[in-house]
Structure 1
Amino acid sequence: MTRGPAVRTGLALCAAALAAGCSSLLAPAAEAPLAIAMLDTLPQDIPRASCRAPLVRVERPESRPAYDTTRMAYTQQPHQIAYFSSNEWAERPAQMLHPLLVRALEATGCIRVIVPPDGGPASYILRTEVIELTQDFSEEPPKARLALRVRWLDAVSGNLLATREIAQREPMRQKTPGAGVQAANEASAKVLRDVARFALDMAGAH
């Protein structure tokens, strides 16, 4: 049987519609825009004291390899770590924390700070290491966890005078990366406050 022009046109339109439908199914899903976040919060309750204002060289923080990246880490079960695909830090956590450490120590009113590569007759060296910065969804409510290892050294001899691990766990208001960033900033402010208190103790403030 010979199909007329109208039938052939209808079949062609159906084929085109099916092709368009298939192509839309095969097309990759649009990716969510990348959200870039900062650690930029200073504590409101920085401890202050009077002392002889020793000169302290605040070295750039080191970091464990898992956190030496702009990728934002999270965990859903113990002993495992993953990274968000659409959320990142603007800089590596250690890079963001360094200027905050400097400002927190200067705000104590007791400590003068120099930053490498600047030289100068420093009395002490403050070294820090990021040992954890994770959004933990394995518990309820989820928490942002930040931990630093802090070392206080004699600048002349290089001898280690004290070391301390300072950590905070801050509850997240929602189960979202954005809420985790907010909680991480709250945790970092408390960690910075505790580092400043540790430095004052080591500087002999009163």
Structure 2
Amino acid sequence: MTHPSFALAGRICAAGLLLILVSGCGALRPTATPQPGFYSLDNAWIEARAATRSPATLAVRGPTLIVNPPHAASGYDSQRIIYAREAYKLEYFAHNEWVDTPARMLAPLIVSAVETGGTFRAVVLTPSAAAGDLRLDTEITRLQHDFAGQPSRVRFTLRAYIVDNKTRRILASREFDESVVAANESPYGGVVAANRAVQTVLEQLAEFCAETAANWHPAGAEVPKLTEEGLPGR
């Protein structure tokens, strides 16, 4: 005859073994991976500004500008969204990325922003068979969500050079640096701030290109002399 205490102990052991087996099976199941978020640099503001521009402002005698695809400094040439908590150390959000590298997203935005100024006869993104009078070279040296202070900020820095295509001479260069406070500390808050920073820099870049073109004269062309009143003479 089986003693009742032995039967009870057996049932407890069996239940414990079953619990261990169930727990083990659960541990072997793959955990759910968070779906990545993909973000872009938007051009809605450029389209809105272009819609308000009068066709009469388009330049018919202005120079043609060739825009080279932007370069990116080391660390900023991937689709990963960068943030920083301390100086000299770049980190990446685990499940949030750009839909493309910032440099490739920025290229058509530069063309559209400069076009809306109406200064150039044409603005062409390379590679292209078109010949141009001036060339715009740019480099992204910083695009990061900075958590070193509160509130956090997104900083975007772009270096630009305008070159005379015929003489290969650099006519003008400038570094644009913009910092925008993030609405919140999330990756999306940083993306919104990044778009605002890019918008401000591209507006400044368009003005820079227009100013340089206004002071440019084709190589070999006669520079008009000014009268005492400051007007072009004959």
**TM exceeds 0.5?**
yes
Percent identity of paired positions between Structure 1 and Structure 2: 29
Moved more, 184-193 or 50-59: 50-59
Could you give the per-residue CA deviations for residues 47-106 of structure 1, whole angstroms, max 9, x where no partner exists? x86753210001100011210000110000112111111111110000000000011111
Distance in 2 between the 1:23 and 1:134 partners?
Answer: 42
Given the alignment, which residue of 126, 143, 151 partners 1:116? 126
Distance in 2 between the 1:28 and 1:141 partners?
Answer: 37
Q: Which residue of 1 aligns with 2:142?
A: 132
Q: Which residue of 1 aligns with 2:210?
A: 200
Superposition RMSD in Å:
2.3
Moved more, 90-99 or 52-61: 52-61
* Residue identity matched to 1:104: A
Distance in 2 between the 1:75 and 1:29 partners?
Answer: 29
* Residue identity matched to 1:34: P
Could you give the per-residue CA deviations for residues 115-138 of structure 1, whole angstroms, max 9, x where no partner exists? 212123311000100000000000
Using CA pairs under 8 Å that are at least 6 residues apart, name the structure with larger relative contact order, 1 or 2.
Answer: 1
Q: SS where residue 75 of structure 2 aligns?
A: helix
Does residue 148 (structure 1) correspond to residue 150 (structure 2)? The answer is no
Q: Which residue of 1 aligns with 2:179?
A: 169
Q: Which residue of 2 aligns with 1:32?
A: 34
Q: Is the 8 A contact 2:158 2:177 kept in 1?
A: yes
Distance in 1 between the 2:32 and 2:145 partners?
Answer: 25
The 5-angstrom pairing of residues 56-135 of structure 1 reads 56-111=65-120, 112-135=122-145
Distance in 2 between the 1:24 and 1:145 partners?
Answer: 44
Q: Tell me the TM-score normalised to structure 2 length.
A: 0.79
Q: Which residue of 1 aligns with 2:15?
A: 13
Question: Any unmatched runs of 5+ in structure 1?
Answer: none
Moved more, 82-91 or 14-23: 14-23
* Residue identity matched to 2:163: L
Question: Any unmatched runs of 5+ in structure 2?
Answer: 216-234
Query: Structure 1 pair 45/139, CA: closer, same or farther in 2 (3 Å)?
Result: farther
Q: Is the 8 A contact 1:54 1:123 kept in 2?
A: yes
* Residue identity matched to 2:32: A
Q: SS where residue 65 of structure 1 aligns?
A: coil
Distance in 2 between the 1:163 and 1:193 partners?
Answer: 16
Q: Which residue of 2 aligns with 1:185?
A: 195
Q: Is the 8 A contact 2:114 2:123 kept in 1?
A: yes
Moved more, 166-175 or 33-42: 33-42
